[in-house]
Structure 1
Amino acid sequence: MDDLIAEFLTETNEALAELDTALVQLERAPDGETLARIFRLVHTVKGTCGFFGLSRLEGVAHAAENLLGLYRDGERAVTPEGVSAVLASIDAIRTIMAGLAETGAEPPGDDAALRARLEALAAPEAGAVPPGQEALTEPLLEPAAECEEPELPGPLPTPANDGAPTPLAAAPAAPAAGTGAEAALPVQAIRVSLPVLDDLMTLASELVLVRNQLLQVARSQGDSAFSAPLQRLSRITSELQEGVMKTRMQPVSAAWSKLPRLVRDLGQELGKRIELVMTGGETELDRQVLELIRDPLTHMVRNCADHGLEGPEERRRAGKPEAGRILLSARQEGGRILIQIADDGRGLDLDRVRRRALERGLVTEAALAGMDDADVARFVFRPGFSTAEAVTAVSGRGVGMDVVRTNIERIGGSVDLRSSAGRGTTLTIRIPLTLAIISGLIVQAEAERFAVPQAAVVELVRVGPGGATLEWVNVAPVLRLRGQLLPLVPLGALLGLAPALEAGAAVEGFVAVLHADAGRFGLLVDGVFDTEEIVVKPVAPILRDLAAFSGNTILGDGGVIMILDPGGVARLAGLSLGRAGEAEAEGAAQSTDTAQLLLFRAGGQPTPLAVPLGLVARLEALPAESIELVGEGPAVQYRGRLMPLLPVGAWSRPQPGATQQMLVFQEGERMLGLMVDEILDVVQEPLALRPSGARPGFLGSAIIAGRGTDVLDCAHWLRLGDPAWFGHSGGPVPRLLVVEDSGFFRQIVVPALSSAGYAVTECADAAAALALREKGAMFDAVLTDIEMPGMDGFDLLAEIRRGGPWAALPVVALTSRTGPRDMARGHAAGFNDYVAKFDRDRVLAALGRAISGLRSAA
């Protein structure tokens, strides 16, 4: 094939990929800039076709250009019919180009009907735009909120074929005719075939391994003449591998470029109103991985549109907006990329799945009866399995979800499905960073070495003589880091390389503080070596089910080690980091509050007591001799100040030589020690609180860790121990309205806000809050829960923003649902901030920003 024709095909494919997304955006929200860009791209395609004598391509492009020209000049209104016709012309151009690429000549065909359709829409009798009329009054797609607009990707490479050219960088759009200055710009990109890039990547990886081996040899020989050249070689190798990696890494949005068009067409075909929201499109991953996930993503989005989302009438009956939402998000999680596809539809019909599984003989009735919902849902990944009642052009043939799982697992990834009836379905894909070179921290547990992605390491802490000291909550080790308790995971014991730590045992080593999902934990290891650039290889199929690992690598000394996945380590250890956000992303209904609680005994009573762990500053065991009687009660000299002590229930001074367990509460300079008998455990569980009647000092009772437990009212005990605990130091006191239906959370949040200097008014629901507005009450900010009976947080925000004296008030969401999907929705809805419950510091910081922003605007 002629080189010029090959170049034309590549550039035109890039333009067509951009046109699909731009046309969908134009239909949703017409604007002059988008129209001009679309017209310029089509005009360039038409002009190039004429140069090469491609008459069939030129005829289709010319007819589309005529209609777009009328839209651009304002002589015709942009209509769904017109956008559909232009999209049909784009499809026709693709078909012709496919034949041109295969044979070197335009394939035979008749485009008269398509050209006539375009010409009819451009004809004078089609109607001009009446003065003052908007170009599009009834878009088929619901417009997304401004900060949720899908990011338009740049020009994309053609589908991967051996030897097909791909751009090293996005080439600039073709300049409009007559713009001499733009035409004079130098070329900023060249095209390199994909096999060449693959070879470069392989060579760069091998060079990194050889460099690491040389550096290892140099370290063992001490100072030598090779040290300086090796350091220079190391720097050059790092720069080279970084440059080569950039040529292979692409944003995940490149795999999403066709989805807006796909969703738009499916909406028309299925008679549904569908809104597609995409976040995290800038997350980068290897090009080969991108190609492998492109088709699985497309299939899953089609499933959401067809199976997941209801029709407009069914959604109205269910009390949902007519427009269904499909949310697509991506983010890096340790050494993996996490992609989620979620919808707010009807959810998976698990009863139908059970029936189909029995009909197909995939499971016996006895085995099915013992399965939980998550196991039942996984039947959809079986080959040939489908719940569709009829075969359609969209789905129902039972081909797809098994291929999705196969393609994902082929690259060492995993796919999981969770669904909630009436709430929607979420598919979660975890993909390792294959063929990537990352910086890793090399650690040791027993005699084995492991690599931890440097991006997940927050800090290193030495424990033992001269360093920090571990504390114990029952049999669980914790590290007190700047006043916060950090759960620890002993790596050797977790992987079965060493016995479990005994409570109270002296421990030496290092703690790598890691960030996983939405929380932090400490990885306890025996030794830490150095950071090293490592080549990530996918986990072998036989090790794929080991959640603790995301890959393996070869070190400079030739040793093969595993790369730890921080999120997998946390899950394997049973830590509940980030589960609140994950539960929301899965669309799961949560009818109870989830809390991390400290369990203890006090007052000589056998019934355990509980207090939210986030409110406790420290756990202490002080010698009995240190307790003094000062004034009317016991106290202790603690950290240079006299700290009052308060017993919970009956108390007697411990015998000499014994210790007194206590929970230390601190707010600024104020401190209070709550004396208890025994610390039991730290748990995180759903909390179904049964309110207590006339029991001062207790919020109520609940079943926690399998036992009936009384939950303390911290505000009561703090006021009892220090009547001035919630006093204010003068100056203007910000007025804050807290809207929260859970009495438990109100008892936690309100004292913390009061002690921070806010005058707090609390309401149990949105209706009570709006009643205060009608009475003329004014506040400086509103802090509201999301999940509430009746009117939820989103509805309350919409009512506040609708108008009236509260319209400009800052509104901060306080919720247990903090996944990426939730935060994107919250910010798009108009919340000033969106923070997690129990995260006191972030709540106060968010309120401070919101109120200071309001005052500066005033």
Structure 2
Amino acid sequence: MEKDPFRYFRIEAREILDVLSQGILKLETRGASSAARKADIDRLLRASHTLKGAAGVVGHDAIAKLAHRMEELLAGHARDDGSSRTPISALLDVVDAIASELTALGAPAAQATGAATAPVEKNAESVRLDLLEVDGVLASIADVSARLASASASSAGLVRVELAVRKVEEWLAAAKYAGDRSSLDWDTVIETVGHLRGELRVEREALEGVIDGAERRVREALDDARRLRLLPAETLFAELARAARDAAAADVTAPGAPPRRVELETAGGDLRLDAHVLGLLRDALLQLVRNAIAHALEPETERRSGGKPATGRIAIRFELRGSRAVVTCRDDGRGIDVEAVRAALVAAGLASEQAAGEMDVAALVRVAMRRGVTTRASATELAGRGVGLQVVGSVIERLRGELTVRTEAGRGTTFELDVPVSMTAAAALVVEAGDVAATIPLDAVARTTRVAGGDIARSPEGDALSDGGEMVRFASLARVLRREGKELGHRDFSTAVLLEIGGLRAAVGVDRVLGVANEVVRPIPAPAVADPIVVGASLDGQGDPRLALDPRSLVEAVRRLPGALRPTPLPERKSVLVIDDSLTSRMLERGILEAAGYDVTTAASAEEALEVARERRFAVFVVDVEMPGMSGLEFVAHTRADPMLGATPAVLVTSRASAEDRRRGLAAGARAYIVKGEFAQDEFLDAVRRSVG
């Protein structure tokens, strides 16, 4: 039985609410008896009836009654009898009441991530999505892809076996013709070995064929699943139109004055973006629309005296530029009052008069976004608290995007948001630096070039590389990520990756460029305070993690680094073996420990850890307790009894929190006991440091 009986109803109801909201707002602009108006009312009546029926099926009487009320109100408009029409605001009140009932049901996955779906009539043949399920499909396919790559590596092992059998066959033939007089039937032996080699070749070719076909289908399925997570930009348009109407109604010049007339134009609604990106853009665009009405669009009398139409205009456009989405919000208002913004910054103590006077519009807006500045003398329901631009700035930062602002006095202002289409999957350049594999978004890579140490100009202020006559700041990626075993100031690099983003340029030296891949980036768990350069991780074909790098933070880090003129040995890094069957836990602990300067090796089971521990020495073991096969307690007891491993301390990290569990862990020989549910980075690092000594 379905655990959540309202799961699909919520999604359908949200779609219908979009249709109702957009359609009702259109009624305000239609002629009293136009054919388009009648078609709109018919469409709204059908949508209301569908919602009433769906609510009845799932037994939600309140929404069914509200939908019926909507039908009655729309019927008055359909009769074309002016006395029967209710105000548009009354229709919108019913929409709001239905939305409140839906919210009370709890947020489904799609709603919780800020995602919406296409209007009902355009979405009739599409599947209604639960984003958590889509993400689960993506993760499963990515895992299968990694396992297939491992199987592909196994087929390479069959090739080696085949070659070994061929050598045995050759040795036996040589022994036969050398006159070996043993009792072996050489012809039979050679024939048997030859037959075995032939069978191995057939099996290997069959396995390779299966793997190639499966990998191809998995890649296709992964691409399909990624597309499922992309939603059309038009899913935001209904809410933005409603926000513009409500803001115009709230921003009246005097009590009893008519609401300000505002027209919202939208374009590019068929552009599809990742649901997470679209949800964040929603927050930014809502603020920009409200700010335009509160600060930019003039009252009707002022607009008429200035030769403008009485109705203010806000235009929102989505478009694809290369691999990124550019969202433009343009108004035809009075423009940004640059001097008022400068005065507000000075009054708030955020800049001196001289510094504020030297800032251009873009710089002024950047400061206002970070610190929450308003030019209004008093706050209203709509504006005056300096929150709007802060929200926009936060969205740009979270999406790692770019914001461009253009304004012209008396003509209006344009905000342009340049953001990725997806934060979870993107084409990336895969590189290797030291012991780290990493990915860099491809749209930030200008080019790659072969370099040697002599190509790098060095100075105390920073190293640089000549590119087309221009000196570009340079550093090794391993140095930026603090992953070098020693300072490599005079090292010869094989490849430099030239990066360009937001007008900034830099180059990083890498050991190898491994190619281009479409990466599914997984976020690093919240407790792991990683370097801002690292925004997540992906998995390669063998299931090993690759760091996903933020290009802007990487460029800024390179430009901040001083020169690497004098090699300085770094202290020896302590080696830690992290043992946990959970990939998330391994990545979390590895990230924390590496950021603290430890050399970290991971194992997915206690059995694997024992093999690794016998091959090299470790300063400490960090062990999960509950694992398939040998448990963490058994691992600790086993290593304590082993003459070779007994001196290596162990730190247990587990979800078991009872006093008895702690007693058993320490009795087994662990130096420290950390509970995952109470996980604190400082406590974890302190336990490791105390154990290492």
How high is the TM-score relative to the length of structure 1? 0.45
Structure 1 contact 441–454 (Cα < 8 Å) conserved: yes
Match of 1:160 among 111, 134, 138: 111
Q: Which has the higher helix share?
A: 2
Residue in 2 aligned with 1:230?
Answer: 211
Instruction: Tell me the number of residue pairs that the alignment of Structure 1 and Structure 2 aligns.
Output: 469
Cα offset, 1:42, TM superposition:
1.7
8 Å CA contact retained: 2:19, 2:119 = no
8 A contact 1:342–1:427 mirrored in 2: yes
1:325 deviation in Å? 2.0
How far 1:16 sits from its partner (Å)?
A: 1.3
Deviation at 1:414, TM superposition (A): 4.4
Matched, 1:198 2:183: no
CA distance in 1, matches of 2:361, 2:119: 46
> Does the CA contact (< 8 Å) of 1:278 and 1:328 recur in 2?
yes
Aligned to 2:363: 375
The sequence identity of aligned pairs, in percent, is 28
1:358 and 2:346 matched: yes
Partner of 1:88: 93
For the residues of structure 2 that align with 1:431 and 1:417, how far apart are their CA atoms? 15
1:534 aligns with 2:519: yes
2:51 to 45, 54, 58: 45
Contact 2:427 2:516 (C-alpha < 8 Å) held by counterparts:
yes
Unaligned runs of 5+ in 2: 162-203, 252-258, 451-464, 480-493, 503-507, 560-693
Give the CA deviation at 1:428.
Answer: 2.8
Structure 1 residues 389 and 91: CA distance shift in structure 2, 3 A: same
TM-superposed CA distance for 1:39, in Å, is 1.2
- CA 1:59–1:561 in structure 2 vs 1: closer, same or farther (change >3 Å)? closer
**Whole-angstrom CA distance in 2 between matches of 1:387 and 1:451:** 43
Matched AA of 1:396:
G
The equivalent of 1:423 in structure 2 is 411
Pick closer, same or farther for the CA change 1:559–1:228 going to 2, 3 Å: same
> What is residue 333 of structure 2 aligned with on the other side?
345
> Does structure 2 retain, via aligned residues, the 8 Å contact 1:216–1:556?
no
Residues 1:319 and 2:317 aligned together: no
Q: Is the 8 A contact 1:411 1:434 kept in 2?
A: no
3-state DSSP class of the match of 1:256?
helix
**Post-superposition shift, 1:297?**
1.9
Map of 1:18 onto structure 2: 19
Secondary structure of residue in 2 paired with 1:258 = helix
Aligned amino acid, residue 94 of structure 1: A
Q: What's 1:789 paired with?
A: none
* Equivalent runs, 1:348-747 vs 2, <5 Å: 348-440=336-428, 530-536=515-521, 555-556=540-541, 558=544, 560=546
Is the contact made by 1:446 and 1:492 (CA closer than 8 Å) also made in structure 2? no
Counterpart among 247, 258, 265 of residue 266 in structure 1:
247
CA contact 2:325–2:418 (8 Å) conserved in 1:
yes
Distance 1:449 1:55 in 2: 56
- Return the alpha-carbon distance in structure 2 between the equivalents of residues 61 and 10 of structure 1: 16
Equivalent residue in structure 2 for 1:244, among 186, 209, 225: 225
CA contact (8 A) 1:248 1:287 kept: yes
Could you give the per-residue CA deviations for residues 15-49 of structure 1, whole angstroms, max 9, x where no partner exists? 11211112223332451332211111123334556
Structure 1 pair 6/222, CA: closer, same or farther in 2 (3 Å)? closer
Distance 2:531 2:321 in 1: 20
Q: CA deviation at 1:82?
A: 3.7
Match of 1:68 among 48, 67, 74: 74
Shift of 1:302: 0.9
1:424-449 Cα deviation digits (max 9, x unpaired): 22223333355533444658999999
- In structure 2, the CA distance between the partners of 1:449 and 1:80, relative to structure 1 (3 Å rule), is farther
Structure 1 residues 158 and 256, CA gap change in structure 2 (3 angstroms): farther
The Cα offsets for residues 120-146 of structure 1, whole Å up to 9 and x where unpaired, read as xxxxxxxxxxxxxxxxxxxxxxxxxxx
Secondary structure class of the residue paired with 1:28:
coil
1:188 CA drift (Å) = 5.7
| Partner Cα distance (2:214, 2:160) in 1 | 16
Instruction: Please list the CA deviations of residues 177-207 of structure 1 after superposition, one character each: whole Å capped at 9, or x if unmatched.
Output: xxxxxxxxxx966656443333333333444
1:805-820 matches, within 5 Å, as none
Distance in 1 separating the partners of 2:395 and 2:314: 22
1:90 deviates by: 1.9
Q: Which residue of 2 aligns with 1:255?
A: 236
Local SS of the residue matching 1:288: helix
Per the alignment, in what secondary structure is the counterpart of residue 238 of structure 2?
coil
Is the alpha carbon distance of 1:409 and 1:46 closer, same or farther for their aligned partners in structure 2, counting shifts above 3 Å? same
> Contact (CA 8 Å) 1:204, 1:241: kept in 2 or not?
yes
* CA 1:169–1:229: 2 relative to 1, 3 Å: farther
Shift of 1:273: 2.6
1 CA distance for matches of 2:22 and 2:368?
Answer: 31
Using a 3 Å threshold, how does the CA distance of structure 1 residues 159 and 196 change in structure 2: closer, same or farther? closer
**Secondary structure of the structure 1 residue equivalent to 2:309:** coil
Output the TM-score relative to the length of structure 2: 0.54
CA distance in 2 between partners of 1:314 and 1:525 (Å): 60
Q: d(CA) in 1 for partners of 2:98 and 2:12?
A: 13
Q: Give RMSD over aligned pairs.
A: 5.3
Equivalent AA in structure 2 for residue 310 of structure 1? E
Q: Report the 3-state secondary structure (helix = DSSP H, G, I; strand = E; otherwise coil) of the residue aligned with 1:332.
A: strand
Q: Structure 1 unaligned runs (5+)?
A: 103-155, 175-186, 464-474, 479-486, 498-508, 518-522, 574-858
**Cross-structure match for 2:280:** 292
Change (3 A) 1:38 1:390: same
Alpha carbons of structure 1 residues 57 and 399: separation in structure 2 relative to 1, 3 Å: same
CA distance 1:49–1:205, change in 2 (3 Å)? closer
